[in-house]
Amino acid sequence: MMWYTRVKWIRSKFANINHIYKRHFLLGIETSCDDTGAAVLSKEGLILGEALAKQPSSEFGGVVPSFAMGFHARNLPVVTKSALDQAQMTMEDVQYLAVAVKPGLSGSLATGLDYVKYLSRKHSIPLIPIHHMEAHALTARMIEEIKFPFMVLLISGGHCLLAIAEDIGRFKLLGQSSDNSPGEVLDKAARALRLHALRPDLRSVPGGRAIEIMASEGGSPFAIDFPTPLMQFKSCNFSFSGFKAQLWNVLNQVEKKQPLEPDELLPNVSDVAASIQYGVARHICHRLQRGFEYALLEEIWPSNQENTLVVSGGVACNQSIRNSILKICEEYNIKAVFPPPKYCTDNGVMIAWNGLEKYRKTVDIIQPEQVMELDVSPRVSFGTDISEQVTNRNIKCKWIKLL
Ligand code: KG4
Ligand code: ZN
């Protein structure tokens, strides 16, 4: 073939591919808390473009809802364009939109939804509304094949729950936190220990990561006893508020002995960090162990299939907490799947993936003419709550030693 004939032939092939793929893509948008994410997936589930604008919330002592709204409004067009550019696409190529509409901060969710409604109307694209927690739970299926039913543990800054994923949009809630989340406790601990202020290298890392780094600098997990919460309740529910109270006690005792200078770190800061991290891990693992016992007792996992636990949320990035979870999984012969850290924390890819899963099942697809009726639901539950049934089973566990 002469070279110009070959060029013509290649061009015609690409024209065909362009034609086939035109409007065959899905754009997902995440704005439920403080970070703004966008991602483009092909219908086969390949990530073609992704962008995330991370708000430095730890620098202003946590998420400030009004700042978060402004941040999303400024960054939504930027991350969307960046994801589309990477995918070498324009909005004209997008066939479906997906956006997180629940749960989360109302202003943040509404800013994302308004933007996506605008895109839907302007470019005439159907929209798929997404439950943020369901998206965390399903992301692992993008990385590898995981059959339903599987168990999912979500441990992040905004949530803490243990559930059975039965299908897309069908979850059974085994237990959840009645107060704080593990991420919140670790963030508060980092702030109380003044890690962001006194360790410049930790200034812009999340609180939980700061605690992990501090703990790894020779801290003993047994130095301070953080009692395991809810030991008297045979449930899969969580509670983290006791860790905060215990931490204030520890800090008060130190201050009483010898007040700290304004620029001075607690002398045993690594021990405190390691102990609280271990306390949080132990509590999570106790509830998880009971969850496994319940699922086996109730024969929730089919016997002809590998039993799988998916662990997601920002706190799942913590290596020490991961190792503890892995220990429990090993004992029960359960496969643990941790999505890569960047997909454990909030991102646009998880929303796009959940959108794709719903598209494949043809559920929750809202046509452009109806999108204005959609609203956000900042406070909603997750799945069917069976936590009482779990408690009523009165399951005693022989606790597995973590360290
Ligand atoms: O999933 P995520 O990004 O946001 C939601 O809360 O939805 O989780 C953020 C939380 C924060 O509390 C942060 O401190 C925690 O995840 N985190 C960690 C680590 N990296 C982030 N906690 C423990 N160890 C880490 N390495
Ligand atoms: Zn999240």
CA angle, 232 then 237 then 243, to 5°: 75
Q: Look up tokens 């962008």; give the residue.
A: 51
**Least confident span in 165-169, 254-258, 379-383:** 254-258
CA of 19 to the centre of ligand 1 (A): 42
The 10s digit of each residue's pLDDT in 111-134 is 999 999 999 999 999 999 999 999
**Least confident span in 8-22, 216-230, 327-341:** 8-22
> With bands split at pLDDT 50, 70 and 90, how would you rate the model's confidence at 7?
very low
Domains along the chain with CATH numbers = 14-138+345-366 (3.30.420.40), 145-338+384-392 (3.30.420.40)
Give the residue whose CA is nearest to atom 14 of ligand 1: 208
CA of 3 to the centre of ligand 1 (A): 55
Whole-structure pTM over 0.75, yes or no? yes
Q: Ligand 1 pocket test: which of 55, 130, 156 has the largest number of ligand atoms within 8 Å of its C-beta? A: 156
Ligand 1 atom closest to the Cα of residue 346 is 3
The 10s digit of each residue's pLDDT in 36-66 is 999 999 999 999 999 999 987 766 767 889 9
> With bands split at pLDDT 50, 70 and 90, how would you rate the model's confidence at 16?
very low
Q: Look up tokens 């941790």; give the residue.
A: 338
The distance of Cα 200 from the centroid of its chain, to the nearest Å, equals: 27
Query: Whole-angstrom Cα distance, residue 98 to residue 120?
Result: 10
Which of these, 182, 378, 387, 152, lies nearest to 283 by C-alpha position? 182
- Tell me what percent of the residues of the chain surpass a pLDDT of 90: 82
Give 10 or 117, the one with higher predicted confidence: 117
Largest CA distance in the chain: 87
pLDDT higher than 70, residue 1: no
As a whole number, the mean pLDDT across the chain is 92
Ligand 1 atom closest to the Cα of residue 132 is 7
Given its phi and psi angles, is residue 196 left (phi above 0), alpha (psi -120 to 50 degrees) or beta?
alpha
Ligand 1 atom closest to the Cα of residue 156 is 8
Ligand 1 atom closest to the Cα of residue 315 is 22
Query: Whole-angstrom Cα distance, residue 114 to residue 100?
Result: 11
pLDDT of residue 15: 46
pLDDT of residue 73: 97
Q: Look up tokens 């543990």; give the residue.
A: 153
Query: Whole-angstrom Cα distance, residue 229 to residue 283?
Result: 7
Q: Tokens in use for 220?
A: 């003993």
A 10 A CB-CB count for 259 gives 8
Ligand 1 atom closest to the Cα of residue 183 is 12
**Cross-sheet strand order for the sheet of 47-53:** 47-53, 36-42, 25-30, 94-102, 127-131
Are residues 185 and 280 in contact, defined by beta-carbon separation less than 8 angstroms? yes
Give 287 or 21, the one with higher predicted confidence: 287
CA of 346 to the centre of ligand 2 (A): 5
Ligand 1 site, residue 50, Cβ cutoff 6 A: no
* DSSP secondary structure letter of residue 178: S
> With bands split at pLDDT 50, 70 and 90, how would you rate the model's confidence at 13?
low
CA of 105 to the centre of ligand 2 (A): 11
> With bands split at pLDDT 50, 70 and 90, how would you rate the model's confidence at 20?
very low
CA of 7 to the centre of ligand 2 (A): 48
CA of 301 to the centre of ligand 1 (A): 29
Ligand 1 site, residue 215, Cβ cutoff 6 A: no
pLDDT of residue 282: 98
Ligand 1 site, residue 183, Cβ cutoff 6 A: yes
